[in-house]
Amino acid sequence: MKLTIVYDNEVKKEGLIADWGFSCLIEGNGIPATLFDTGADGAILLHNMRGLGIEPSTIRIIVISHAHGDHTGGLPSILQANKDAVLYVPASFRGTIPGRKVTTVTDPIKISDQIFSTGELKGIEQSLGLKTDKGINILVGCSHPGVNNIIDASSRFGKVHGIIGGFHGFRDFKKLKDLSLICPCHCTQYKSEIKHLFPEKCRGCGVGTTLEL
């Protein structure tokens, strides 16, 4: 399974654009190409996709973590460029998407063979559990329900191996000590502290970062 950071506050590859927001593409053998969140700006999202060699029309599934603009702003643009993708949105997501199959997520749900949703936690946000040979890797948007709660909810899918995405103001760092992969992105307030505490487990994040899980 391969993750590619398409939208983030930092950039790791020349020619791509950093902006406040988050988006990540999930790919792999037997896995439908799945876009998790869409960043804040559709033009930047599509620019970064072009720079990364990602064809928008190949995306089969779009998952929205939560309804904040820095995660949904690119949605109209990607829907215009892709006429077929189905959507999974949290129950707190407001608005209609005519002509699309939309699954409203409240409880944990299987999205594809290796991708599961935690369900909408704390009435605001869903995260994804990605099943790999090493265990469950969690993909998060902003972790508004709390990293601790997200890890606990993801544990139902198997042993948690890693976590990738925005951690917001999370600082209960001992919760990360048993993980093998930590990739703080986007809104993570204590990114430098996490990198200092877990230098061997921590991966840098930015537009263009790829992770092989």
Whole-angstrom distance, CA of residue 99 vs CA of residue 175: 42
Are residues 65 and 71 in contact, defined by beta-carbon separation less than 8 angstroms? Answer: yes
Are residues 89 and 102 in contact, defined by beta-carbon separation less than 8 angstroms? Answer: yes
pTM over 0.75: yes
* Confidence at residue 79, expressed as pLDDT on a 0 to 100 scale: 97
CA dist list (Å): 140 to 24, 47, 118, 150, 187: 10, 23, 10, 8, 11
- Domains in the chain with CATH codes: 2-212 (3.60.15.10)
Helix (H, G, I), strand (E, B) or coil at 170: coil
Strand partners, 87: 62, 102
* Confidence at residue 140, expressed as pLDDT on a 0 to 100 scale: 98
Residues contacting 69, CB < 8 A, separation 6+: 40
* pLDDT one digit per residue (tens) for the chain, 213 residues: 999 999 999 999 999 999 999 999 999 999 999 999 999 999 999 999 999 999 999 999 999 999 999 999 999 999 999 999 999 999 999 888 989 999 999 999 999 999 999 999 999 999 999 999 999 999 999 999 999 999 999 999 999 999 999 999 999 999 999 999 999 999 999 999 999 999 999 999 999 999 999
- Record the tokens describing residue 102, joined without a space: 């939309």
177 phi and psi angles, rounded to 5 deg: -65, -25
* Confidence at residue 113, expressed as pLDDT on a 0 to 100 scale: 93
